[in-house]
Structure 1
Amino acid sequence: MNPAIPARPTFVVPVLAFCGVVVAVMQTLVVPLLPHVPELTGSTPAAAGWLVTVTLLTGAVFTPVLGRVGDLYGKRRVLLASLWVLTAGSVLCAVSSDIGVLITGRALQGAALAVIPLGVSIIRDELPAERVLPSIALMSSSLGIGAAVGLPVAALVVEHFDWHTMFWASAGLGLLDVLLVLRIVPASSQRAPGRFDTVGALGLAATLVGLLLVVTQGPEWGWAAPRTLGLLAGSVLVGLAWGRYELRHSSPMVDLRVSARPAVLLANVAALLIGFAFYANSLVTAQLVQEPVTTGYGLGASIVESGLCMLPGGLAMVALSPVSARLSARYGPRTALAVAAAVMAAGYVVRFFTSHSLWPIVAGATVVASGTAIAYSALPALVMQAAPVSETGAANGLNTLMRSVGQACCSTVVTVVLAHVTFRAGGREAPTLHAYLLIFLIAGGTALAALGAALLLPARRPVRSQDRRRSPRPAAQESA
């Protein structure tokens, strides 16, 4: 039997979705640990914050780059490489308490975010047309599912075990992913023509890192500080030069002409806005219920209890992924995205008026997560509807990148609001309830903006004949 062909193709989608869940768990793994990192590592709170920031930076850079590499040289091969990097980063974090080593390990873990668009691309290549939409729905929802599950599990580990344990567990899950992909996932026969655009990749990386550093570090450095303004100006100039280079390149890192199509452009704008609205829900819920009762609105919940508040949302995402697929299949992904954005906005209305007791808070968070599940399923379908088959990985990578940019912007906005809208409570400075309500208003407004972007999308794009046909699979498959 050819080892590149899976013995049980039924398990391809569950294996890819499990890879996505593991990557999402990795992203949220350190959140419950952050308040304790300075004491555990002898570092500063600012250095501890880089355990989150660095994964955002490396994820933003490597997601579109590895998506393009997968299009050119084999998606399964690049998927395996990403999972090996995740495993290596987890081991680094597990064996050290040095903040520099931990940040390096987290940077390696962040590169594995490319697993999501690579998995979506493999599904498009390998599955029959009738299974593509429901499979993509599950794959895309895995990011939210893993985030919802990862928080309470990580909180349990922090409370009851040595904190290195969660990184050993992450390494074990990464290794399990590698073995499952080797055994189950086939090597895709689809290849894009051309060669890798090294200059384009470096230009994209420099632009993204510069802009994201401005967004994430601006509150700490000062928005008018020379290094903030200098980095912003440099990133814009590099970005303009990169764009000009890409337009002239025969095999660009990012095909800007495809990205400028209204269907792709608006899908990416919607991804940014949905990423913002989703992340506000994740960032604020745990912190809100953990606020001390002395604030007058806080519930004084433990780390584990606050993490469990997100679990119903994760379960809702699992349940709604097939519903989202049916919605996209019957009415189109444009309609599904509009419904998702409307549900998220409604969830923030619930959150605005019910932030004083536990179960209404959980209900509001679950409504937002439900909308997120539908949106994350619809976005890849929109991208695949508009992008050529040969650019599926790169196009989905760029869409995933836009979600990450939205999350980065959200993190900055939440940090600024909670740090500046405060009062004295119980002998310490704490955010006011109005700070949380303001965040819900901003996130709800962002969801409404995503609804507007969805409604502006072209209602239907005619499918090109070459996109409709499935190329016959050659006898020789890529090797793992």
Structure 2
Amino acid sequence: MDAPQLTSRPGGVVATLALAGTTAAIMQTLVTPLIADLPKILNTSASNATWVITTTLLVAAVCVPVVGRLGDLVGKRTMLLVCSVPLIAGSVVCALSSSVIPMIIGRGLQGMGMGMVPLGIALLRDVVPTEKLSSSIALVSASMGIGGGLGLPIAAAVAQYANWRVLFWGSAVLATIIGALIWFLIPSVPASAKGQRFDAPGAISLGAGLVSLLLAISKGADWGWGSGTTLGLFAAAVVLLVGWGAWELRTKDPLVDLRTTARPRVLLTNIASIFVGFAMYASMLVAPQLLQFPEATGYGLGQSILAAGLWMAPGGLMMMVVSPIGGKLTNVYGPKVTLLGGVLVIAAGYGLSLALMGSAWGIMVSIMVISSGVGLAYGSMPALIMSSVPLSETAAANSFNTLMRSLGTSIGAAVIGLVLSQMTTEIGGFSIASESGFRTALLIGCGVALVSAAIAAVIPAVRTTVTGGQDKAQAGPAEPAKSAVQA
């Protein structure tokens, strides 16, 4: 196994990869301020317009594990450059669109760029010195949340004060800058799994299973949870994913090594990631609605879309501030402690939101606390994964963990959406989510965070060797520590 190729410019590498991850995440929230106007903009129905958002989610879910594995096979820098191409092309297609089909195609291309985040995290293990690795991983990993937190107010401001096409032209320019930075600043390192074959059957079956599952979750409320289409998709997902698992265990060079994934440390981290993704996204759904609901409801705060985005923006900034702190905690106490602390902070933020939801300042403070916890948790999970897998599987393993986070956000969106749609009140002849519905949603977010804390608490320690009094697992994940399976 090749030794890591350390770079003399780690600061530029980390900044580039963090900006790349932030840019990819911004693409997901880019159209949020336009949701109400999309049917008019694209001359289509409201149900068709929702595909502009759903398509990005589906394409990202399919492409992230594939791109991660290709990063191990052909090189992470190469695949980072490849990911920048659909980001640019998709942004241009969206900017030029005047109907729903081209917009959906463009949004699908943008979804392909989400593979930048796990690729960037895995590349850090190859090029960043051990003493800077934990804080670097924390920052790049948290870029998903940072991009989501900052993307909303930026997009809202542009949508309110300029033509909506400026959003996509701006994202095209930003993606082009990212591609140039990757070309000039990211070093090329040998592919860690060079010579192995790409598992095309595994990629196809996993993609089909994920599309079936996420389509059922994201559209189940519209189609009806008991409808034949929804139930058929859930059934197809079960069959396809079970078949995929059986294939992965038999093939020589799997897309995802399920034997590695089944190790308790990796498995429990991935399960915790689902709950953390749920807990993060629940607040992103509840807070904007509370801020924008009219004051006549008695619990809404009557803010504009732009004002609501600005009230939430400090949450994204807190992730940026807290991530390096999380890296230092990981260096001292290990990533398990950082993850546990992060999810407990998320739970505390939800508890705070129940008490302070009556004011914009209160919601802002609550979101800052929740986002701080997300920054700690998101930064620790890749460190847990990479301390438990071989160097040849780092990109694929991180991509699978990113997929678990995305699955959690999708489930969170479905569950919170269902709660808010069922617990309603009548205002001016319209049925809207009630105050008790919002409180229930916040309680669910708190409960999910506590469940992830319970899972994090039982993640086993890595069996390590101690050299010169230093525990390699806590020194950073630059070298995979031996687990009980490897020992």
Amino acid at match of 1:258: T
The DSSP-based 3-state class of the residue aligned with 2:190 is coil
Cα distance, 1:286 vs. partner?
1.2
Q: Is the 8 A contact 1:9 1:185 kept in 2?
A: no
| Aligned match for 1:334, one of 313, 333, 336 | 336
TM alignment of 1:301-316, pairs within 5 A: 301-316=303-318
Within the candidate set 286, 289, 301, 2:288 is matched to 286
| Identity within the alignment, % | 43
Deviation at 1:120, TM superposition (A): 0.5
AA matched with 1:18: L
Which amino acid counterpart does residue 344 of structure 2 have in structure 1?
A: A
SS at match of 2:425: strand
Within-5 A mapping of 1:196-207? 196-207=198-209
Distance 1:241 1:181, change over 3 A: same
Deviation, 1:426, is 3.0
| Match in the other structure for 1:323 | 325
Superposition map of 1:1-40 within 5 A: 8-40=9-41
Give the residue type in structure 1 aligned to 2:176: L
Q: How much does 1:10 deviate?
A: 3.1
Cα distance in 2, alignment partners of residues 201 and 168 from structure 1: 32
- What residue is the counterpart of 1:178 in the other structure? 179
- Of 51-60 and 368-377, the range deviating more from structure 2: 51-60
**Given that residues 5 and 185 in structure 1 are in contact (C-alpha distance below 8 angstroms), is that contact kept between their aligned partners in structure 2?**
no
Which of 261, 273, 278 lines up with 1:276 in the alignment? 278
Give 2:159's aligned residue: 158
Aligned AA (1:17): A
Q: Tell me the SS of whatever aligns to 1:309.
A: helix
**Structure 1, gaps ≥5 residues long:** 471-480
Q: Name the counterpart of 2:44.
A: 43
The residue number in structure 2 matching 1:394 is 396
Aligned residue for 2:72? 71
Return closer, same or farther for 1:35/1:47 CA change in 2, 3 Å cut-off.
Answer: same
Do the aligned partners of 2:133 and 2:478 also contact (CA within 8 Å) in 1? no
Letter in 2 for 1:386: S
Number of matched residues?
Answer: 467
How many angstroms apart in 2 are the aligned matches of 1:266 and 1:303?
Answer: 38
* Bigger mean CA offset, 196-205 vs 142-151: 142-151
Could you tell me how far 1:222 is from its partner in structure 2?
1.3
Rounded to whole Å, the distance in 2 between the matches of 1:128 and 1:362 is: 36
CA deviation digits over 1:433-472, x for unaligned, max 9?
Answer: 111111101111110011011001003332699x8769xx
Which residue of structure 1 lines up, in the alignment, with residue 433 of structure 2? Answer: 431
Distance 1:454 1:446 in 2: 12
Q: Contact (CA 8 Å) 2:69, 2:255: kept in 1 or not?
A: yes
1:403 corresponds to which letter in structure 2? Answer: R
Task: Tell me, yes or no, if the aligned pair for 2:125 and 2:478 is still in contact at 8 Å.
Answer: no
Alignment of 1:257-268 (within 5 A): 257-268=259-270
- Opposite residue 461 of structure 1, the aligned amino acid is R
Distance in 2 between the 1:49 and 1:469 partners?
A: 44
Residues 118 and 395, structure 2, Cα contact 8 Å, conserved in 1: yes
Residue type of the alignment partner of 1:308: L
Measure the CA separation in 2 of the matches of 1:315 and 1:246. 40
Query: In structure 2, do the counterparts of structure 1 residues 445 and 243 end up closer, same or farther at CA, with 3 Å as the change threshold?
Result: same
Q: Are the aligned partners of 2:126 and 2:478 in contact in 1 as well (CA < 8 Å)? A: no
The answer on whether the counterparts of 1:334 and 1:378 sit within 8 Å (CA) in structure 2 is yes
3-state secondary structure, aligned to 1:192 = coil
Map Cα deviations across residues 333-372 of structure 1 (whole Å, 9 max, x no partner). 0010000010000000011121111111111111100000
Q: Compared with structure 1, are the counterparts of its residues 469 and 301 closer, same or farther at alpha carbon in structure 2 (3 Å cutoff)?
A: closer
1:475 is aligned to none
Change (3 A) 1:287 1:37: same
**Matching residue's letter, 2:23:** V
Q: Aligned equivalents of 1:101 and 1:446: distance in 2?
A: 38
Q: Is the 8 A contact 2:6 2:128 kept in 1?
A: no
Aligned to 2:462: 460
Counterpart code for 2:108? A
Q: TM-score normalised to the size of structure 2?
A: 0.93
Normalising to structure 1: TM-score of the pair? Answer: 0.94
Deviates further, 33-42 or 334-343: 33-42
Say whether 1:223 aligns with 2:218: no
Specify the code of the residue in structure 2 equivalent to 1:233. A
Cα distance in 2 for partners of 1:8, 1:176 equals 19
8 Å contact from structure 2 (residues 6, 126) kept in 1? no
Q: Secondary structure at the match of 2:60?
A: helix
What SS is found at the alignment partner of 2:387? helix
Residue in structure 2 matched with residue 60 of structure 1 by the alignment: 61
CA contact (8 A) 1:289 1:300 kept: yes
Instruction: Tell me the secondary structure at the aligned position of residue 107 of structure 1.
Output: helix
Per-residue CA deviations over 1:184-219 (Å, capped at 9, x if unaligned) read 001122421511000010011011111111111111
Q: CA RMSD in A?
A: 1.8
Which stretch has the larger CA shift, 306-315 or 331-340? 306-315
Quote the Cα distance in structure 1 between the aligned partners of 2:461 and 2:439: 35
